Amino acid sequence: MTNTDDDHGAIPGEAPDTRPCVAVNVSLRMAIIEAQIALQHELRQGGAGGQAASLVSAGNADTTSVLGIPAASPDVCAPATVAERLVLLRNELAVLRARLDAPDAMLPSPHLAMGVAPLVMALPEQYLAALLGLSDDEIELAWLAVAWAVQPALFDELIVDAPLRGVSAALFVRLRRFVTVVDERAFVVALRTSKLFTLGMLQRAGEDNGLHTEWRAAPSLVEFFTGALVHDARFEVVALGHVILDAAQEVIINGMQSCHNMPGVLWQVQGPAHSGRAVACARANICPLWRVDLQGATDAAAVRALLQDFRAHLTIMDGGAVLLENIETLWQRNDAAALAAVAAFVDANACIVFATVTQRGTVPTRQQHVFVDWPAPDASARAALWDELAAQMAAPPLDPDLRDRLAQRFTVRSGAIWRALQFASGRVATGYSESLEEAVLVAALQSATDAQASELEAFCTRVETRQTWDDLVLPEAAREQALLLLARCRATTRVRDEWGYGAKLALANGTVVLLSGAPGVGKTLSAGVISRVLGCTLFAVDLSRVVSKWIGQTDANLSKVFAAAEAEGCALLFDEADSLFGQRAAVRTASDRYANMEVNYLLNRIERFNGLVFLTTNQPEAIDPAMHRRLAMHIVLPLPNEVERAELWHRMLHAGSAPLAADIDVTDLARRFPDMSGANIRNAVLNVLYLAASEGGDIQHAHLVRGGKAEYRAMGKVAMSPRPLLEN
C-alpha cells in the first residue's frame, strides 16, 4: 500500500505504446515533414531538388515488411528528387493506415474504468480524430507541431528573421501545398473552433498574430502521437482504496452522490488537510476523478499553461471529472489573472469540477457554486483505521491507550498512518525497540504534515519547554484544575465515543483553556508543561504576523493557523488573548463593524477546532462573554504565597551547580519580597548568579537580598526591612 494522506494513487496502464505500427508511423510522419521542409527550402532558394535519403529509418526496415508495406527493392533506383521521395513516403503511409483502419467498435469509448485510453488497433492519430472529430488537415497540423517539439532542428532551414517558437497556420499551408491544395481562408476559419485549440492540444507560444500565430503541441499530445505515453506526475487519478468514514461523512457523501450529475456546477469541498476530501469527491462521482495541484503554479501564465496541459491530458485519457487542489493559493495572493484562467478552464470543461479547499472563496466562473463542509473524521473512525491498518500489516500489538492518543491528536488518513506503522514496525523487527514507540510514531506522523508545519511557522513561534510537571509550583486549586485538564484531553475518545456522550456534546472535540493571572505567574510556562505532558508541540500565535490592515486578511491568516494546527496535532497559544478576543463594541464606525467580525470569526472557528487551545491574559474581564461560554476550563494563577515563594527561591538556586553559602535563608527572602512572582524571582537569582560569577566566591545571603532589592526597584516597589528576630 502506497497511498498518501488523501488516498490517491498512480494510474495503472499508462505505459508506452510499443506496437511496431506506431514506430513506423512516427518514422514516416517525420520523414514526410522533413521532405516538405526541404521542398520549401529549395523553392525559396530557387533550387531544382536535392538527393533523397532513405525512406524509413533502418531500425524500422524489418517492421515494414512484417506489416505488409513493400520495401524499396535494391534493384530500383532511389528517388532522384525530394518531391519523388515525398510521393513514395505518402504512399507508404497510406498503405500503413489502410492496414490499420479499425471498425468503430475499436475506437474510444467514454469513461473507461480508470480513465485510461485503450491501445486500440487504430493509430494514435486515428484514435484522436475519431474522439474529437478532427479533419485530415487538423491531424496534419497536429503532426507538424509534434515534429517541431520532437526535432526542432528540422525547421532551422525555414528561419528567416527570428527563431521559431512553434508552428503557425501559415507555415502549415506552405508545407501542405506540396501534397494537396488547401483552401487557406476556409482552413483558418475552421481552426478558430478546432478542438485542437479549445482542448489545449495545441497551445499558443506567443502573441496572437492571426495566420502567423505560433503554436506548440501539448506534452501529452507529443507523447501520445509518438507512442511514449507515460505517467505525468502532475496529473493523477484519485484512488478510492479502503476508507473508514464516520456517520457525518457518510451523510455528506450520500448527498453529493444524489447530485453528482448536476450540470454547470463547481463543487467546493472545504475541510482540514489530510481529512479525505479527495476521497469524498471520488466516491461521489461515477467516472474517474483526475486531480491537478495548483500550488506549484506561481503566476497566471504558469496556471494557464498547467491547465492547458491538463485539458490536453484529459482529452487523450478520454475525460473524467476534475479535481482542483490548493486553489486557495490564488485567493491568498489575490491573483485575478490566474483565477480568470481557472474560470475559463471550468467553463470549458464538460465534466464535473471539484475543488478541495481549507477556506471558502470564489472563482469568477459562469458555473454555479456548491459549498460542502467536510469534517475531519472523528477520533473513533481514526482509531478504527489504526487497528485495521495494523492488522493488515501484521504489525506488533498497538496499545489501545496509545492508539486513542494518536487518533485524538492527528487527523491524518491511511497513507500517513501506514507509513508511521511501517517505520515503527521496522525498528521493532531490527531490534532497535521492543514495541511500537509513541515517540517514533509521532515523529513519523509529523513528517507527513511538513507542509502544515511550515504554514504554522509562518504565523506562529514554536514554544520550547524544558521544564517538567514536577517543576511547576502551583497553588492546590490550580494544580487540581491542571490535572483535570490532562484527564480530559487523554480520555476524550473514551467519553465521547465509547461511552456515547458525544451525541450530547459539541461536534468538535477541542479544548479551550483560559489561563489568567498577573504577569510572571507562569501562564505560558504552565501551557508549555501541560502540552509537553500530553506530547503536543505548542505554537504561540504571533499577532504581528497574523493581524493585517486589509479587511478579511486576518481571518484568512487565522484560518490557515487553525487548519495547520489541526492537521499537525499541535496545541495553540494565544498570549495576551484580550487583544484578539476582547469584548465586541457597539457599532459606530466601519472599523467597529470589522473588528466585531474578526471576533465573531474567532468565536466560531475556535468552537470547531479539534485540538487544544490556551488563552492567556492578565485581564480576564476584558474577554468577550461569548468566549467564556466556550471555555472548557478557566485556571486562575494567583501570585505565589510565602511558602510557594520560598519553594521558587529554593528551586531556582538549586537548578544548577553554583557555589552556595550555608547562610542562605529562602524563607527570609520569601518574607522580604512578598509581591514577587516566579518570573521576578528568576530575574533576581540570575542577576546574583552573574554578579557572583564575575566577582568569584560563594553566593551569600546578602547577595540574594541585594539582587532581590534590585528586582523590587525594577518592579516599582520598596523592599521590606528584615524582622529583628532574623538579625539576632
Q: How far apart are CA 636 and CA 263, in angstroms?
A: 57
**pLDDT reported for residue 670:** 92
User: How many Å is the Cα radius of gyration of the chain?
Assistant: 36
- Cβ pair 216, 148 in contact under 8 A: yes
- CATH number given to 642-727: 1.10.8.60
Do 304 and 335 contact (CB within 8 A), yes or no? no
* Residue 215 banded pLDDT, cuts 50, 70, 90: confident
**The pLDDT value given to residue 450:** 53
* pLDDT of the residue at 110: 40
Most confident listed range (75-89, 180-194, 341-355): 341-355
Mean pLDDT of the chain: 78
Specify the residue for cell string 451523510: 251
Res 229: pLDDT: 62
- 66 — pLDDT class (breaks 50, 70, 90): very low
Return the closest-CA partner of residue 546 out of 609, 463, 459, 606. 459
Residues 6+ apart with CB under 8 A from 55: 31, 72, 85, 88, 89, 92
pLDDT for 329 beyond 50? yes
684 residue type, one letter: A
Cell of 318: 478520454
Task: Note whether 563 and 326 are within 8 A (CB).
Answer: no
**Are β-strands 460-463 and 511-517 bridged in parallel, bridged antiparallel, or unpaired?**
unpaired
Confidence band of 69 (pLDDT split at 50, 70, 90): very low
Higher pLDDT: 615 or 281? It is 615
The pLDDT assigned to 573 comes to 95
Render pLDDT for 654-668 as a digit per residue (tens, 0 to 9): 988 899 988 999 999
| Residue 7 banded pLDDT, cuts 50, 70, 90 | very low
Going by the DSSP 8-state scheme, the letter that residue 432 receives in this structure is S
What percent of the chain lies above the pLDDT cut of 90? 18
Confidence band (pLDDT; 50, 70, 90) for 104?
Answer: very low
Distance CA 117, CA 130 (A): 13
Tell me the per-residue pLDDT of 395-446, one tens digit each, with 9 for 90 and over: 787 888 888 888 877 776 666 787 788 888 888 888 777 788 888 888 877 7
Q: Are 684 and 708 in contact (CB under 8 A)?
A: yes
Cα 324 to Cα 221, 320, 411, 690, distances in angstroms: 22, 13, 22, 59
Q: At what angle do helices 590-607 and 553-568 cross, to 10 degrees?
A: 10
AA identity, residue 28: L
Question: How many Cα atoms within 13 Å fall on the side-chain side of residue 94?
Answer: 7
Lowest mean pLDDT among 112-116, 165-169, 370-374, 517-521: 112-116
Q: Quick: pLDDT tens for 531-550.
A: 989 888 899 999 888 888 77
- pLDDT confidence of residue 4: 38
Residue-level pLDDT at 552: 75
Higher pLDDT: 342 or 563? It is 342
pLDDT above 70: residue 526: yes
Phi, psi of 324 (to 5 degrees): -100, 125
pLDDT at 493 over 90: no
Q: Give residue 325's region: left, alpha or beta (phi > 0; psi -120 to 50).
A: beta
- Find, among 126, 139, 70, the residue nearest to 100 by Cα: 126
> Which pLDDT does position 350 carry in this prediction?
67
Between 11-25, 303-317, 414-428, 668-682, the lowest mean confidence (pLDDT) is in: 11-25
Question: Are 354 and 323 in contact, with CB atoms under 8 Å apart?
Answer: yes
Q: Would you state the pLDDT for residue 722?
A: 53
CATH 3.40.50.300 assigned to domain 469-637? The reply is yes
* Per-residue pLDDT tens digits for 562-614: 888 887 778 999 998 888 888 776 666 666 666 677 788 888 888 888 889 99
CATH topology of domain 235-373: Rossmann fold (3.40.50)
Mean pLDDT of 254-258: 79
Residue 406: count of CB within 10 angstroms of its CB: 25
Report percent pLDDT > 70 for the chain.
77
Query: What's the CA gap between 380 and 383, in Å, rounded?
Result: 5
Nearest to 371 by CA among 359, 380, 383: 359
Alpha carbons 511 and 505: distance in angstroms, whole number: 12
For 450-582, list the strands marked E by DSSP: 460-463, 511-517, 538-541, 571-574
C-alpha cell at 407: 487518533
What per-residue confidence (pLDDT) applies to 649? 94
**Higher local confidence (pLDDT), 426 or 57:** 426
Q: DSSP secondary-structure letter at 472? A: -
pLDDT given for residue 373 in this prediction: 86
Residue extents of the structural domains in the chain: 20-225, 235-373, 379-448, 469-637, 642-727
Helix extents (H) in 51-168? 61-66, 82-100, 124-132, 136-150
Domains 469-637 and 642-727 belong to one CATH topology: no
513 pLDDT higher than 80 = yes
Residue with the bigger pLDDT between 34 and 11: it is 34
Residues 6+ apart with CB under 8 A from 650: 666
The cell for 408 is: 485524538
> 367-371, 460-464, 480-484, 590-594: which has the minimum mean pLDDT?
590-594
Residue 114 has what pLDDT? 39
List the CATH code of the domain at 379-448.
1.10.8
Q: Please give the Cα distance from 221 to 145 (Å, whole number).
A: 9
Q: Give pLDDT tens digits for 370-379.
A: 888 887 777 7
Q: Which of 237-241, 435-439, 632-636 has the highest mean pLDDT?
A: 632-636
